């Protein structure tokens, strides 16, 4: 799934499809056996809720609460953890959702000041 969206220029008009994407993230879902249990993963990581709120851990630089990942599938054994993908303010990020499973997947995205266009 991919799309282009309206982007305002300084004069207030819009140009469709003229967005300069600064980064592309590939979120690939799968199922894996981790610790003897079947778990859903995104890029090889099964989500585990952190004991410390992520924004507090980031603000106070508390180590070990989450791991920053690239936003691309990596060749590694699947694991359980709390991972985040960092992005810069005002970047235009294209997110590609890849589902190779026979079932439909739903997604929940958390972030600050972003717009879905597809």
Do 71 and 23 touch, CB atoms closer than 8 A? yes
Spatial CB neighbours of 118, under 8 Å, sequence gap ≥ 6 = 1, 2, 3, 5
Structure tokens at 36: 């003897």
Q: What is the pLDDT of residue 106?
A: 85
Question: Does 48 fall in a domain?
Answer: yes
Lowest-pLDDT range, 5-9, 24-28, 39-43, 94-98?
5-9
Question: Does 106 fall in a domain?
Answer: no
Mean pLDDT of the region 10-31: 76
What phi-psi label fits residue 43: left (phi over 0), alpha (psi between -120 and 50 degrees) or beta? Answer: left
Q: What is the pLDDT of residue 117?
A: 67
Number of domains making up the chain: 1
Distance CA 3, CA 69 (A): 24
Question: Does 41 fall in a domain?
Answer: yes
Question: Does 105 fall in a domain?
Answer: no
Question: Does 19 fall in a domain?
Answer: no
- Which domain covers residue 64, as residue numbers? 29-99
Residue 78 clears pLDDT 70, i.e. is over it: yes
């Amino acid at each position: 799934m991919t799309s282009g969206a309206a982007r305002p220029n300084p004069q207030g008009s819009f140009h469709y499809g003229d967005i300069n994407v600064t980064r592309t993230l590939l979120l690939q879902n799968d199922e894996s056996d981790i610790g003897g249990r079947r778990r859903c993963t995104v890029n090889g990581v099964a989500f585990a809720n952190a004991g410390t709120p992520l924004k507090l851990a980031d603000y106070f630089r508390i180590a070990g609460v989450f791991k920053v990942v690239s936003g691309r599938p990596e060749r590694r054994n699947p694991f359980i953890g709390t991972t985040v993908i960092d992005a810069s303010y005002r970047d235009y990020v294209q997110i590609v959702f890849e589902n190779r499973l026979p079932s439909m997947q739903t997604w929940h995205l958390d972030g600050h000041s972003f717009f879905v266009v597809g």
